[in-house]
């Protein structure tokens, strides 16, 4: 059969899905406020642009000129009020200041309790990422077992491929743990 999948195909597909899960977890971590100004804090905010919810990054230049300050300069000055409203409605705990040309957002320092809460949220996000990786592992192993039942691969090939899937899973779980450790350090430092 020319369209028959191989163990390599299953492994490559699993690795691709695992990579996407790690990237999704890293993206979620980037949205967590650390007390430092970073454009990622607000770039995902949707702004009403002529009746269409549009990501802020497509409507303006978002910069962090200082460690605790974001500036947002819209491409079109007439949408500055819409941007200000979207930022206020986003429940980010930030207070946008509009001077007519530019929006400034001062990033307040985090207190200890809030830092711990953010770390807990990141730990939950990391756990969700690990669950996603385990689901990919389960799906890959199910495909491999079906291939073995259909006599497309031998029992030895099944065992080898399952071992490879486990190695992949372990390496991607380690990546999520490293991302979490980095984010925890970032959140807990002043």
Judge whether residue 166 has pLDDT over 80: yes
Q: How many CB atoms lie within 10 A of CB 37?
A: 23
CATH 1.10.132.20 fits 7-31+111-188, yes or no: yes
What's the Cα-to-Cα distance from 91 to each of 37, 47, 61, 140, rounded to whole Å?
Answer: 16, 14, 21, 39
- Which pLDDT does position 121 carry in this prediction? 87
Contact between residue 134 and residue 169 where contact means Cβ atoms under 8 Å apart: yes
Contact between residue 71 and residue 65 where contact means Cβ atoms under 8 Å apart: yes
Top-ranked range on mean pLDDT: pick from 67-76, 88-97, 112-121, 169-178: 169-178
Judge whether residue 2 has pLDDT over 60: no
Q: Which of 31, 47, 28 is nearest to 39 (CA)?
A: 31
Instruction: Find the farthest-apart pair of alpha carbons in the chain and give their distance in angstroms, rounded.
Output: 70
State how far the Cα of 72 lies from the Cα of 101, in Å rounded to an integer.
Answer: 9
pLDDT digits (tens, 9 = 90+) for 27-45: 888 877 666 777 877 888 8
Stronger pLDDT, 175 or 60, i.e. the higher one: 175
Where exactly are the structural domains of the chain?
A: 7-31+111-188, 39-106
Domains 7-31+111-188 and 39-106 share a fold: no
Q: What is the arithmetic mean of pLDDT over 71-95?
A: 86
SS3 162: helix
pLDDT band at 56 (very low <50, low <70, confident <90, very high): confident
CATH 3.40.50.10800 fits 39-106, yes or no: no
pLDDT digits (tens, 9 = 90+) for 128-144: 999 999 999 999 999 99
- Which pLDDT does position 25 carry in this prediction? 94
């Amino acid at each position: 059969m020319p369209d028959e999948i191989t163990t390599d195909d299953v492994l490559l597909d699993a690795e691709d899905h695992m990579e996407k899960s790690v990237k999704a977890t890293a993206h979620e971590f980037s949205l967590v406020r650390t007390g430092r100004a970073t454009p990622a804090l607000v770039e995902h905010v949707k702004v009403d642009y002529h009746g269409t919810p549009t990501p802020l990054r497509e409507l303006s230049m978002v910069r962090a000129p200082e460690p605790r300050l974001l500036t947002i300069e819209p491409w079109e000055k007439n949408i500055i009020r819409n941007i200000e409203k979207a930022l206020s409605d986003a429940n980010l705990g930030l207070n946008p200041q509009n001077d007519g040309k530019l929006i400034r957002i001062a990033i307040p320092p985090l207190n200890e309790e809030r830092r711990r809460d953010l770390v807990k949220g990141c730990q939950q996000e990391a756990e969700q990422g690990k669950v996603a990786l385990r689901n990919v592992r389960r799906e890959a192993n199910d495909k491999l077992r079906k291939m073995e039942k259909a006599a497309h691969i031998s029992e030895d090939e099944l065992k080898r491929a399952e071992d490879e899937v486990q190695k992949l899973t372990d390496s991607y779980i380690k990546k999520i743990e490293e991302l979490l450790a980095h984010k925890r350090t970032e959140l807990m430092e002043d």
